[in-house]
A = this chain, B = another copy of it.
Amino acid sequence: MTIKSDIEIARAATMKPIAEVAARVGIPADAIVPYGNTKAKVSFKHIDSLKDGKDGKLILVTAISPTPAGEGKTTTTVGLGDGLNRIGKKAMMCLREPSLGPCFGVKGGAAGGGYAQVVPMEDINLHFTGDFHAITSAHNLLSALIDNHIYWGNSLGFDTRRIAWKRVLDMNDRALREIVNSLGGVANGFPRTDGFDITVASEVMAILCLSLDLKDLERRLGNIIVGYTRDKTPIRARELKADGAMTVLLKDALMPNLVQTLENNPVFIHGGPFANIAHGCNSVLATKSALKIADYVVTEAGFGADLGAEKFFDIKCRKAGLKPDAAVVVATVRALKMHGGVAKDNLKTENVLAVNKGCENLKRHLENMAKFGVPIAVAINRFVTDTDAEMQEVMKAAESLGARAFVCTHWADGGAGTEALARHIVELADGGRSAFKPLYPDDMTLRDKVKTIATEIYRASDIACDASVETAFKDLEAGGFGKLPVCMAKTQYSFSTDPNKRGAPEGHIVPVRELRLSAGAEFVVVVTGEIMTMPGLPRVPAADSIRLNADGQIEGLF
C-alpha cells in the first residue's frame, strides 16, 4: 500500500461549491461573499442577524507540550468536527489562518493532514482571501503615518528612540529585523532605528482576532500605543487619525472565511495571531458566529495546553464572554515517548515504559485544565507504529485523572476515525458539567496574574523579575492597565522556560524578562525567553522547489 501525501489526498477531494456548504448550515446565498468557488466570507449583515439565536456548544482542542514528533492538533480538530457531523450533529470547526511567509522556508501547510484536511489547501496557505495582506497594509499605513507626522513637524512630540510600532511583512526576512530608516537626506526624514516583524506578529492581527465588530475594531486600533514622548507619555494611533483608515483597510478582513473539510463540512478559518506575543486563537467573530450557526463548534489554540488553552480561556473566552463546554487534549504515543526520554530516531520501537513516563506531561496538562472547570477528554492521534500496549498506557494515564482517552484514526479514516471521541464529547458538552472560570480575576495585579499562571499552570515555585520589570509592572498599574489579562510568551516545549526540560518539571523559577503592552489588543505580553518575531529562511528554502507543474498545480509547497 502506498501512503498518499496530504497534497495528493487534497487534490483527489471533491469540493462542493461553497454556497452549498454554507446552505447546509443555514447560511443563505446572499450572506456569502465568494472568493472563487470554494472560499467565501460571511457578511456582517448575516452575522448581525444571528445575534439573538441560541449558542451551540464550544469545544477546545488543545495538546500536550509539543515535541519534534508532532501532535496533530489541527488535524484532530478537523477530524473531530468531521466525526461530529458523521454522527449526525450540526458541527463547525474554527481554525487559524496559516501565514504565507513561512511556506517559503520549510515545507509546510497548516490545514490538517491525511484524511482530516481543510481545502482548498493551496489557496488557504497562500493568499487565501487576502486577510493577512490587509493586516500588512493597515499596519504599515500606521507606520508610515508615524514617520510622516515626525517629518512634518512632530507636533505630538514623538521621542524617536521610543517608537513602539515597527513595520511588518508576511515574509521570512531576517535582513529586515533591524534597520535604520529615513536615510538619504532632508526629503526622506529623520534617520532612526526600526525593523520589521512578520505580519502574524502584528498587534493588528491580535486586534482583528479579538474584535467583536467593526466599531470595536476601530476603537482598539485607535488605542494602539505607537510611541512615547520624551517624558514617556504614550501616543496612540488615534492621535495620528489612523484608526479610521486602518478600519477601512480591514473591513473585509474582519469577515470570517468559510471553507470545507474533505468531507464537505463547514470550517471557519479566520485570523492567525502568534501564540507567544499574542493569544494564538482564531477570531472571536468566527467563533461567535459559528456558535450561532452550528450546534457544536470545535476550535483549537496554539502550542500546548499550558500556553494555548490558558490564553484561550484567560484572554479569548474571558474577553469575548465565551463559555467552553468541553476540551480535548491531543497526544501522540510518539510525542509521549519523547517526553519520556526517547530520542526522535527511536520512536518506532515499542517502549511502554517511556510512554508511561511521558504521560506525566499529559497528566499535568489534564490537571491544569481541570482548574478552568471544563470537562476533558484525551484524543490519541494514532500513528501506524503505535502498539496496543502503548495506547493502553495513555488510556490508563487519562483515567487516573478521571478523563477518558480515545484512539483516533482520522488521519487515515477521516471523520469515521473519531466517532467514539465525538460521541463522548457530545455527552460531556451536553451534560452541563462545564463550570468554566478563568484562572485569575481581572482585579488581581498584573504581577500576581503572572505568578498565578507560573505556579498553578507551569508549577514553578516563583517568578523572578529584575528591577526594570518590577518598575514596568508598577508603571502599567499606574497607567491604568492593571485590569488587563496577561499574555505569556514562554517556550512551548516545556512547562518551564527551558525548552529542553520535557515531561512535567516543577519547582523551577520563571524569569520575567520584559513586559510589552498591547493596548489595542488589550493584554500585557509577559516575555520569559527569546521571542523571534521575524523568522529567517533556511540554507535551502522551500521556495527553491516551489513551482507550477505542467497541469498548473503547485509543487513543492507541501
Q: What is A's interface to B at a CB cutoff of 8 Å?
A: 33-37, 44, 100, 104, 126-127, 130, 133-134, 136-137, 140-141, 143-145, 147-148, 151-153, 167, 169-184, 187-189, 193-195, 214, 218, 241-245, 247-249, 251-252, 536-537, 539, 541-548, 552, 554, 556-557
Partner of A249, one of B126, B189, B214, B544: B126
Task: Choose among B37, B144, B167 the residue that contacts A34 (Cβ–Cβ < 8 A).
Answer: B37
Tell me the complex Cα distance, A557–B247, Å: 13
Complex Cα spacing A168 to B327, Å = 44
Contact of A245 among B37, B140, B188, B546 (CB under 8 A): B546
With both beta carbons as reference points, the residue of chain B lying nearest to A123 in the complex is identified as B252
Tell whether, in the assembled complex, residue A247 and residue B547 are in contact, meaning their CB atoms are under 8 Å apart: yes
How many copies make up the complex? Answer: 2
Bound: A182/B183 CA distance, A? 15
The one of B184, B248, B556 that contacts A178, using a Cβ cutoff of 8 Å: B184
Given contacts A148-B173, A178-B184, A178-B188, 14 further A-B contacts (CB under 8 A): A34-B36, A34-B37, A104-B144, A133-B133, A137-B171, A167-B176, A178-B182, A179-B183, A180-B183, A244-B543, A244-B545, A244-B546, A244-B548, A251-B552
Q: Give the contacting residue for A100; candidates B36, B137, B174, B177; CB below 8 A.
A: B137
Q: How far is the CB of A516 from chain B (nearest CB, A)?
A: 18
Q: Is the CB of A44 within 8 A of B552?
A: yes
B141, A171: Cβ atoms under 8 Å?
A: yes
5 A/B residue pairs, CB under 8 Å, sorted by A: A34-B35, A127-B252, A141-B171, A143-B173, A245-B542
Query: Which residue of the partner chain, among B144, B170, B537, B546, contacts A137 with CB atoms under 8 Å?
Result: B170
CB distance from A187 to the nearest CB of B (A): 7
Q: Measured between C-beta atoms, what is the minimum distance from A112 to chain B in Å? A: 21
Q: Which 7 A-B pairs have the closest CB atoms?
A: A244-B547, A178-B184, A133-B133, A147-B175, A144-B173, A245-B543, A245-B546
The answer to whether B183 touches A248 (Cβ under 8 A) is no
Contact partner of A244 (CB less than 8 A), chosen from B175, B536, B556, is B556
| Chain B residues within an 8 Å CB radius of A152 | 539
Chain B residue, CB-CB nearest to A532: B187
Q: Which residues of B lie under 8 Å from residue A252 when comparing CB positions?
A: 127
Contacts of A36 in B (CB 8 A): 33-35
Q: A143 to B134: give the CA distance in the assembly, Å.
A: 21
Distance between Cα atoms of A104 and B145 in the complex (Å): 10
Inter-chain CA distance A127–B248, complex, in Å, is: 10
Task: Flag if A248 contacts B548 (CB, 8 Å).
Answer: yes
User: A175 near B44 (CB under 8 angstroms)?
Assistant: no
CB distance from A173 to the nearest CB of B (A): 4
Given the interface pairs A214-B552, A247-B547, A248-B546, the reply to whether A151 lies near B180 with Cβ below 8 Å is: no
User: Which residues of chain B have C-beta atoms less than 8 A from A541's C-beta?
Assistant: 145, 148
The complex places the Cα of A249 from the Cα of B251 at a distance, in Å, of 24
* Chain B residues within 8 Å of A137, by CB: 100, 127, 133, 170-171
Q: How far is the CA of A279 from the CA of B247 in the complex (A)?
A: 34
Q: Which residues of B contact A539 (CB under 8 A)?
A: 152-153
* Residues on the B chain within 8 Å of A247, using CB: 547-548
Q: Which residues of B contact A104 (CB under 8 A)?
A: 141, 144, 245
Within the complex, the shortest CB–CB distance from A17 to chain B, in Å, comes to 11
A335 to chain B, nearest CB (A): 29
